[in-house]
Amino acid sequence: MVRDSVEKFLNSTPNSHTDFPPPHNDELIKCIKNLNKNKAPGYDGIDNKIILNLPINCITTLSIIIENIMKFGYFPTRWKTATVIPILKPGKDPTDPVSYRPISLLPSISKIAEHIILSRLNDHLEENNILIPEQFGFRKNLSTTHQLLRVTEFIQEGLNNKQKTGAVLLDIQKAFDRVWQDGLIHKLINYNIPHYLIKIFHSYLSNRKFAVKVNNEISQNKTINAGVAQGSKIGPVLFALFINDIPKQFNTILSIFADDTAILARNKNHNYVHLALNRHLKTLEDWFIKWKIQINADKTEALVNREVWPWLAPLPRSAGLAATSSGVSGSEAAWPLPG
């Protein structure tokens, strides 16, 4: 059904669009001035010092290119290749690939185009109040501090009323890297995102590539078949839209910042807190399976007030989760990878 929805959209939308605010030189100049001149270049080797000194005729040409991206819904192939620099995590084994944090470098010209396109998306999201209020990431005038204040107030109100507060802190495994792309486009269609933007995002996500660079040696390109682009400007907001329909429940609250997700419940009855959290976890489990989202059980925790509930047993990689009076237990539900 999801794939059919995406195919129907792509086959029925016009080849070109004119219903968008075109980019202007002043907009590009403002974006270029904010570039960090010391940032490493992407795959194209063009560093920000060059871009910061572009003459006006080059900026005009870039503006025309971006306008055509918006008109035809096509993101240039050469702008979709990332250079990945592996950085060893402190104190980790250098012979183990898991010990490295991948830093993704994209062409700066690509990120300027992203900035212009993202501004159109953000305007639409704000005007139509699309992002759920529980999501505090990537939103104007909101930060982690605001979300922490919200959670703190919820817990404090419970303490004032002699209620116990329980929370489950969920870790989405490789959140940005494993987004189901057809599922994302399907959701953008259902949110009535402007068609020209959906076409851009479909092109932007399709057939992306990366190459790994170590000691000035660079690997062959590999194709990326899932996820939103790491190191991009558009990727985080697309991820927020992908999880925007996360199920809610009347007797719990959701707290979300980017991919960091917590569910909280409070009551004077300890068992009621467990029941409320477990019911919400079951609903989330079904939703995670439907949208091919995987939870990292090892990094997911349950706690009540200040006491962290100990694990009953190590959870399998594919396990569902359940909060109990003595810990967090696993179910046999699968959490499949995107395919």
Q: Which residue matches tokens 């409070």?
A: 266
| Distance from C-alpha of 42 to C-alpha of 104, rounded to nearest angstrom | 9
Answer for the pair 210, 221: CB distance below 8 angstroms, yes or no: yes
Strand pairing report for 222-224 and 307-308 = unpaired
What domains sit in the chain, N to C, each tagged with a CATH number?
1-132+181-225 (no CATH), 136-174+246-313 (3.30.70)
pLDDT number for residue 35: 93
Q: Which amino acid is at 304?
A: V
Instruction: Print burial letters for 280-296: b (CB count within 10 Å at least 16), e (below 16).
Output: bbbbbbeebeebbbbbe
Q: Tell me the C-alpha to C-alpha distance, in Å, between residue 303 and each of 115, 161, 267, 327.
A: 39, 19, 14, 8
pLDDT computed for residue 307 by the predictor: 52
Residue 306: its pLDDT value, please? 52
CA distance 19 to 22: 9
Position 318 scores a pLDDT of 33
Residue 72 near residue 16, CB atoms below 8 Å: yes
Place of tokens 């995987």: 294
**H or E segment and range at residue 73:** none
Q: Which two tokens stand for residue 231?
A: 């190191």
Going by their DSSP bridges, the two strands 164-170 and 100-105 should be labelled as unpaired
Could you tell me which residues come within 8 angstroms of residue 288 by beta carbon, excluding any fewer than 6 positions away?
Answer: 294, 295, 335
- Which pLDDT score is estimated for 297? 82
Which pLDDT belongs to residue 231? 85
Q: Long-range contact list for 323-328, CB < 8 A, 24+ apart?
A: 323/166, 323/168, 323/274, 323/277, 323/278, 323/281, 324/274, 324/278, 325/270, 325/271, 325/274, 327/302, 328/168, 328/300, 328/301, 328/302
Predicted TM-score (pTM) of the model is: 0.87
In the chain, DSSP assigns E strands to 81-88, 100-105, 164-170, 208-214, 217-218, 222-224, 253-257, 260-267, 301-304, 307-308, 320-324, 327-331
Whole-angstrom Cα distance, residue 82 to residue 104? Answer: 6
Per-residue pLDDT of the chain (339 residues; tens, 9 = 90+): 899 999 999 999 988 898 899 999 999 999 999 999 999 888 899 999 999 999 999 999 999 999 999 999 999 999 999 999 999 999 999 899 888 998 999 999 999 999 999 999 999 999 999 999 989 887 888 788 888 889 989 988 988 998 989 999 998 888 888 999 999 999 999 999 999 999 999 999 999 999 999 988 899 999 998 999 888 999 999 999 999 999 999 999 999 988 889 999 999 988 899 899 999 999 999 999 999 999 888 888 888 765 544 432 333 333 344 544 444 444 333 323 232
